[in-house]
Structure 1
Amino acid sequence: MSFEFTEEQNMLRESVKKMARERIAPRSAEIDATDEFPWDMVDLIREQGILNMAAPEEYGGSGSGIVTLCIAAEEIARASLSVSTMFMVQTIGGILVMKAGGTKEQKDWYFPQIIRDKKLGCLSVTEPEAGSDAASMKTRAKLNGNNYMVNGTKCFISLGGVADFFSLFAVTNPEEKHGGISAFMVEKDTPGFSIGKHENEMGQRGTAMTELIFEDAVVPEKNRLGPEGQGFKIVVGVFNQARVLMAVEAVGVAQSAFDYSLNYAKERICFGKPLTEFQGIQFQFADMITQIEAARGMVYRAARMIDKGREIELIPRFASMAKYLATKVAMRVTTEAVEILGGHGYTKDHPVERMMRDAKGIQIYEGPSNIQKMIIARSLFKN
C-alpha cells in the first residue's frame, strides 16, 4: 500500500508545522499550568482553515478526509496535545457525528452555525458506569409528544464546559440494548440541561472536561439523528475514525518527546562526553524512532482504508491496531524521554513530563488498550 501524500497534503503539513512551532508551542506550558480553555488557539486554527476542515465544502468546510485530518492533528499534537484535542473533539463530536447521522435539513441548520457563527461541538457518550461498554449507558430519552425528555449524566466530556452543541447518545428502548440507543444533537440552552463539575485532569489540560447533567431536559424530536435505535451504529462508525485520529495524536506526542530528548542528549555532557556517544543511549534512541515510524505507518494505513472505503470489514481492526500501537509507543517514548533527561526530565522546566502525562490520556480515550485488543481479537476470530 502506498503512503505517498499529495502535493497539497505536503504543503498543509509544512504550513501547520510552522504555525504549531511559532504560535502553539509557546502557549503549551501555560495551558497546562492554568488549565484554562485556550480560546486564542481556537481562533488561531479557525483562521487558518483547520478547525472545521472536516465539514462539507458546501457549508464552507474543506470536506477533508481522515488522512488530511491526521496530517494536521499530528503536527498540532507535536506542539500541544491540549490544542490538538480541542481540534479533534470539534472534528469528531462537532462534525463527523452530524455527517454520519444527520439529514440534509439538519445539516443545513447545523453546519452554518459551526462555520459562520463559530460554534463548537463535542461528543457525549461516556457515563459514570458506562465507558468502553457504551451499550450499558443509563441516560434515558423518552418521547413525549414532539419532544424527548432526557435524564442522566455524562462524564469526562472534553469541551463540555465550552461547547454549544452536544452529540448525545441516550437509550430510547432499554429492551434492545445496542439497538435501543439513539443519537441527538443537543443545544447548550436546552431546558433541563446543565454543566456539572469540571474535571482536574492529570494531562491534556485546558480541554474544559466536565460532567453533563440532564434533568428532564427537553430535546425536540427533530434533533434526533437518524431513526430511533441507530445511535450505536452511528457512534461505532465515528469511533473507528476517532481512534485513528487519537492514534495520530499519539504519534505527534511521541515524535515531539523524541526530538526534545535527542537534542538534550546531544548537548548533555556526562563523564566527559555527550550522552549520545554512549551506546546504551544510542540504542534507546534507535528503539524509539523505530517504534514511532512503525506506529506512523500503521496510523496512515488505517486512515487510507477509511478514506478509500475499501475492506470495510477490516477497518475496525486496523483502527484499533493503530490506536493500540501508537498510544503504547507514545507512553514508552515519553517515559524514556523523561529518563534520558534524568532529574531534569522530572521537573516542569522541560516539557517531556507534560508529554508523558498527556500520552496516558490518549491511551485511555476512545477505549484503553485492552478494549482495542479485544476488538482486534474478535475481528481475527470472527466466524
Structure 2
Amino acid sequence: MFEFLLNEEQRKLRDEVRELVAWVPRQLILDMDQDKVTFPKEFLAEAGRRNLMGCRYPRKWGGRGLDWVSTCMVMEEVGVLGYIFACVFGVGAELVCDAIIQHGNDEQKERYVKPLLAGEIFAAECLTEPRGGSDFFGTTSVAEDQGDHFLLNGQKRFIVGAEGADYFLVYARTDPDPKADPRQALTCFIVNRGPGVEVAYLYGLMGCRGGGAGRLVFKDVKVPKANVVGSVGGAYKVFNTMMIPERLGTAAMTIGAAQPAVDVATGYSTRRKAFGQPINQFQGVSFQVAQAVTLLDASRAMIYATARAVDAGEDQNHTRRLISQTKKFVTESCQQAAHHAMQVMGGIGYTNVFPVERIVRDLRLASIWTGTNEVMSMIVAHEWYRAYHQAKTSAPRDFEADALEAESGEKIYE
C-alpha cells in the first residue's frame, strides 16, 4: 500500500478493512476453493455490518461519501483474502449498486442499495450470454412490453453470484426491430429472484471458486416497470458508466490478490537453504522477487493515478483509455508477479502446501473477465489515436522535423 497517498480518514478505513480480513475464518477460504461453500453470504453480511461496502456512495444510501482512491484501497485490501472474495464483494457493492446509484431512482436505491450495502441482501450483474461476452450489443435476451410489466426471456452465462444473489441487474433487448439502433434497443432491469429465474448450471472453475458462478435462465419472468434502471432503451448509458467500477475495481483487487504470493515466496526464500545458504542469496532467486515487487508497485502507481483522474472528473475519453490501460497492465503484471513467486518456490509452490498455486489459478481470471485484455487494447488504441489527432495541432514543436534528413524527400507513404 502507498501510505503517502492516503489521508487520515482513508488510513482508518484501511485498518477497518484489515480487521475484516483478519476476521475471515481460514476454513471459509479452504471450503470455497473446494466448492463446499458456493457463495460466501456470511462474509458479505459481515462486510455490510461493518459498513465497508460501497464506500464512495452517499451516506444517505449506506456508503461513506468517499472517493475512488478510497475504493481502490478497499478493493486491494479485500483482495488479499483471495480474488474471489474481492469479486463477490465488488460485483454487488461496486457494480450493481453503481448502476442504481447513478441511473436509478430513490425508491430503487432505498429498496436495493441500502440493504445490499448493509449486508442484508446480495446482488449479481447479468451481462455475458452463451453466444458471447464482449459483444454487448449482441444481447439476445428479450424483454417484451406487456403494459404494466415486461416479460423477460433469455440466458446469462458466467454470472458470479448466480447462486446466492437475491436480485440481478439484467440487460435485455426491448426493441424487437433487428434494424434498430443498438444504442437504443437495450434496457437495464432489476430482476428479483423468483418464479421463472433458474440457475441452470454451476461451473467447475479452474480458480475463483465459491462465488456461485453459474448460468441463469429467465423464463417468462414478470419484471415490473418500476424496475427499469434509467429509461427504456437506455442500457447503453448504464453500461458505459459501469465500465469504470468494473475495470478499475478489477485491477485494484488483482494487486491485493497477488501480494500474498509474493509475500509467501519472499519468506520462503529467506528460510529455504541450498548449497549451504538461504536461496535469496542467489541472484536467480532474489532478482525474481525484485521483479515481482517492481511489477506490483508499478501497478499501484497506475491504479492510484487513474483513480485520481476519475475523481478529478477528467475528460471521459481520456479516462476510458486510462482505465483500459490500467486493467490490462495491472492484471498481466500481477499474473507475472505470481508466476515469479511460484518459480522462486520451485516444486513446493506447485502443491497445496502453500497458497501460491491457488493464487496463480485465481489470478488467471483477471485478464479475461470484465472485458478481455484484448478488448482493452482495442480501446486504448482507439482512444490514443483520437487523442493524437486532437493534440497534434497544439504540440509544442514538429518533432518529425528534428531529423537530419527530414527534408530529403524519402517520406513516401503510398
TM-score bracket relative to the smaller structure: over 0.9
Distance 1:25 1:244 in 2: 28
Matched AA of 2:283: Q
Q: After superposition, where does 1:56-67 map in structure 2 within 5 Å?
A: 56-67=58-69
Matched AA of 2:214: T
Matched AA of 2:171: F
Question: Which residue in 2 is equivalent to 1:348?
Answer: 352
Q: Secondary structure at the match of 1:373?
A: helix
Question: Which residue in 2 is equivalent to 1:151?
Answer: 153
Question: How far did residue 292 of structure 1 move?
Answer: 0.8
Q: After superposition, where does 1:6-25 map in structure 2 within 5 Å?
A: 6-23=7-24
Tell me the alpha carbon deviations over residues 29-73 of structure 1, each in whole angstroms, 9 at most, x when there is no partner: 332123512222123212221134344311332233322121111
CA contact (8 A) 2:151 2:222 kept: yes
Identity among equivalent positions (%) equals 29
| Residue 183 of structure 2 is aligned to residue 178 of structure 1 | yes
Q: Secondary structure at the match of 1:330?
A: helix
CA contact (8 A) 2:95 2:246 kept: no
CA contact (8 A) 1:35 1:205 kept: no
Q: Secondary structure at the match of 1:34?
A: coil
Question: How far did residue 296 of structure 1 move?
Answer: 0.8
Q: After superposition, where does 1:1-383 map in structure 2 within 5 Å?
A: 4-23=5-24, 27-36=28-37, 37-115=39-117, 118-173=120-175, 174=178, 175-189=180-194, 191-382=195-386
CA contact (8 A) 1:123 1:157 kept: yes
Distance 2:245 2:305 in 1: 12
CA contact (8 A) 1:35 1:207 kept: no
- Larger CA deviation: 109-118 vs 211-220: 109-118
Q: Secondary structure at the match of 2:132?
A: coil
CA contact (8 A) 1:59 1:112 kept: yes
Matched AA of 1:165: Y
Structure 1 residues 3 and 371: alpha-carbon distance in aligned structure 2, compared to 1, 3 A threshold: farther
Q: Secondary structure at the match of 2:325?
A: helix
CA contact (8 A) 1:24 1:79 kept: no
Distance 1:339 1:35 in 2: 30
Structure 1 residues 203 and 84: alpha-carbon distance in aligned structure 2, compared to 1, 3 A threshold: same
Structure 1 residues 290 and 19: alpha-carbon distance in aligned structure 2, compared to 1, 3 A threshold: same
Structure 1 residues 88 and 25: alpha-carbon distance in aligned structure 2, compared to 1, 3 A threshold: farther
Matched AA of 2:320: P
CA contact (8 A) 2:142 2:154 kept: yes
- Counting matched residue pairs gives 381
Question: How far did residue 170 of structure 1 move?
Answer: 0.8
CA contact (8 A) 2:189 2:227 kept: yes
Structure 1 residues 14 and 145: alpha-carbon distance in aligned structure 2, compared to 1, 3 A threshold: same
Unaligned runs of 5+ in 2: 390-414
CA contact (8 A) 1:94 1:120 kept: no
Matched AA of 1:242: E
CA contact (8 A) 1:127 1:153 kept: yes
CA contact (8 A) 2:58 2:65 kept: yes
Distance 2:320 2:129 in 1: 23
Q: Secondary structure at the match of 1:50?
A: coil
Structure 1 residues 95 and 64: alpha-carbon distance in aligned structure 2, compared to 1, 3 A threshold: farther
Question: Which residue in 1 is equivalent to 2:403?
Answer: none
Distance 1:76 1:169 in 2: 28
Question: How far did residue 26 of structure 1 move?
Answer: 6.0
Q: Secondary structure at the match of 2:80?
A: helix
Question: How far did residue 285 of structure 1 move?
Answer: 1.4
Question: How far did residue 4 of structure 1 move?
Answer: 2.2
CA contact (8 A) 2:306 2:322 kept: yes
Distance 1:282 1:202 in 2: 29
Structure 1 residues 31 and 368: alpha-carbon distance in aligned structure 2, compared to 1, 3 A threshold: same
Matched AA of 1:7: E
Tell me the alpha carbon deviations over residues 200-243 of structure 1, each in whole angstroms, 9 at most, x when there is no partner: 11111110111111112111112111122210221121112210
Structure 1 residues 311 and 166: alpha-carbon distance in aligned structure 2, compared to 1, 3 A threshold: same
Distance 2:357 2:183 in 1: 40
Unaligned runs of 5+ in 1: none
Structure 1 residues 116 and 280: alpha-carbon distance in aligned structure 2, compared to 1, 3 A threshold: closer
Distance 2:385 2:346 in 1: 44
Question: How far did residue 93 of structure 1 move?
Answer: 3.5
Structure 1 residues 247 and 3: alpha-carbon distance in aligned structure 2, compared to 1, 3 A threshold: farther
Structure 1 residues 330 and 195: alpha-carbon distance in aligned structure 2, compared to 1, 3 A threshold: same
Question: How far did residue 116 of structure 1 move?
Answer: 5.8
- Larger CA deviation: 114-123 vs 292-301: 114-123
Structure 1 residues 89 and 47: alpha-carbon distance in aligned structure 2, compared to 1, 3 A threshold: same
Structure 1 residues 193 and 27: alpha-carbon distance in aligned structure 2, compared to 1, 3 A threshold: closer
